[in-house]
Each structure stands twice: as structure tokens, then as C-alpha cells.
Chain A
Amino acid sequence: SQTIHQWPATLVQPVGSPLSLECTVEGTSNPNLYWYRQAAGRGLQLLFYSIGIDQISSEVPQNLSASRPQDRQFILSSKKLLLSDSGFYLCAWSVWGQGSGNTIYFGEGSWLTVV
């Protein structure tokens, strides 16, 4: 069965510091991978999605970037964090199926507080 691991679960970072969140998926190959962000009490904002290695689409221009160094690894980074970057970051995966579409499954999330 497929599993998704995301880490770290919680982090507190000062303004201007770098960020790296990692996500790996096991039990499937060539998944679609996603990074979503959820500000406190808000909806799910799509940040990046990738349908393959070196194929990453950015949805919201900001100081974040994403990379996919391996088929099942997705990394979210920032060189300098802003206060507004605080939130709940969710990695997700899907595999396209003709009868199942792009059902996505979320990791457990990472709570980021920028102070």
C-alpha cells in the first residue's frame, strides 16, 4: 500500500531564516506530487504541483520554491521566511487513473510558525 511521509511535523523559525520541508511517497511510482498551505482558519491554497521529475508548476508567486530531486521526493524551500509564511503545510500525492481521476492523499502536515 502507498504511504506518504512528511517532516518535520512542527518547526518554529525566525523571520529571514531558510526553510526546507521534505516529503516522500512509498508504494507507487511516478506520482503527481503537491504542496498546499493552510493559514490559520483558512482554506487549502495550492502552492506547487508536479506531474514528473523536472515538471513543477507554481501556482502562487511568492518566496517559496519546490524541487523534485527523485521520482517520489518533493521538497519545499525558502531562502528567507516571512511572517506571512506561517501556516500548516501539506504534502499530497495522486496517481492518475481513468476510473479514479486524480484522487489525492495528504500527508500529516507540517506546522510552521515564523517568529
Chain B
Amino acid sequence: QQPVQSPQAVILREGEDAVINCSSSKALYSVHWYRQKHGEAPVFLMILLKGGEQKGHEKISASFNEKKQQSSLYLTASQLSYSGTYFCGTSPSGNTGKLIFGQGTTLQVKP
């Protein structure tokens, strides 16, 4: 039931792009993306509610393919501040209150 993220880890140079994928074996109502810095609580980035919806946050955007039960997070022209662990969280159809997170993708941006 836990969504699967790929890749597990990414190392980039500043200015490079990255894509983090999240897939689920269950039907989804929503997909949530969070970033966690070491030793801190996760911080909300964005939520995608509708199939095919795309959202953007500065140079970070995401898509949600409801039919394929997949979401992707796009990081463009990465900055040092993008380093951290990215989690996708998925919620089953309907308002059940339940949110399950993937295992995380560690992103390291180097100068």
C-alpha cells in the first residue's frame, strides 16, 4: 500500500534538473509532495488532486496521472537549497484522512 518512489537517491550539480517519480498500486484521490531537511520536520510543497493536474512552486513542479496512479516531481535548475529528502504521500479515494508516504528520495545538490 506504500507508494514507491524512484530513484532512491540523486546527486546533482547546481543548475541541473531532476525528476522524482511516485507510483501506487491503489487508486488515488490525491498526491502530496514534501521536502525534509536533515533533523527537521517535513515541509509541504504541493498537493495534486485531479488526474492530469500539474502544479508549480518556483522552479519545482509536479504532475499527477490518475489513470496510471503515478506522480512526478520536477526540479528545474536546481539550487543548493533543494537538497534534502523528498517524500510523496498518497491518499486513497475519498476523504479517509489517511496519508501514506513513500520511502523517500534523497537529493544532494553540489556547487
Mark A residues whose CB is within 8 Å of B.
32, 34, 36, 42-44, 46, 49-51, 57, 90, 94, 96, 99-109
Write out the residue numbers on chain B whose beta carbons fall within 8 Å of the beta carbon of A100: 47, 49
By beta carbon, the residue of chain A nearest B106 is A41
Contacts of B100 in A (CB 8 A): 46
7 A-B Cβ contacts within 8 A?
A36-B101, A44-B87, A46-B100, A50-B97, A90-B41, A94-B97, A103-B32
Question: Which A residues are in CB contact (< 8 Å) with B42?
Answer: 44, 90, 106
Q: Which residues of B contact A (CB under 8 A)?
A: 2, 29-30, 32, 40-44, 47, 49, 87, 89, 91, 95-104
Residues in A whose Cβ lies below 8 Å from that of B2: 43
Name the A residues within 8 Å of B101 (CB-CB).
36, 43-44, 46
Q: How many A-B residue pairs have CB under 8 A?
A: 65
B98–A103 touching, CB < 8 Å: no
Please indicate the chain A residues that have their CB under 8 angstroms from the CB of B29 in the complex: 101
Q: How far is the CA of A8 from the CA of B108 in the complex (A)?
A: 31
Please measure, in the bound complex, the distance between the C-alpha atom of A49 and the C-alpha atom of B104, giving whole angstroms: 21
The DSSP consensus for interface residues of chain A is strand
Q: Which residues of B contact A43 (CB under 8 A)?
A: 2, 87, 101-104
Q: A99 to B95, alpha carbons, bound, how many Å?
A: 12
Report the Cα distance A101→B95, complex, angstroms.
8
A102 touches B102 (CB 8 A): no
Are B47 and A34 interface neighbours, CB within 8 A? no
C-alpha gap A57/B102 in the complex (Å)? 20
Which residue, of A32, A36, A46, A103, has the highest number of chain B Cβ atoms within 10 A? A103
Given the known A-B contacts A44-B87, A101-B91, are A107 and B41 also in contact in the complex, defined by CB atoms under 8 Å? yes
Q: Which residues of A contact B95 (CB under 8 A)?
A: 96, 101-102
Q: Which residue of B lies closest to A52 (CB)?
A: B97
Q: Which residues of A contact B99 (CB under 8 A)?
A: 34, 46, 49, 94, 102, 104
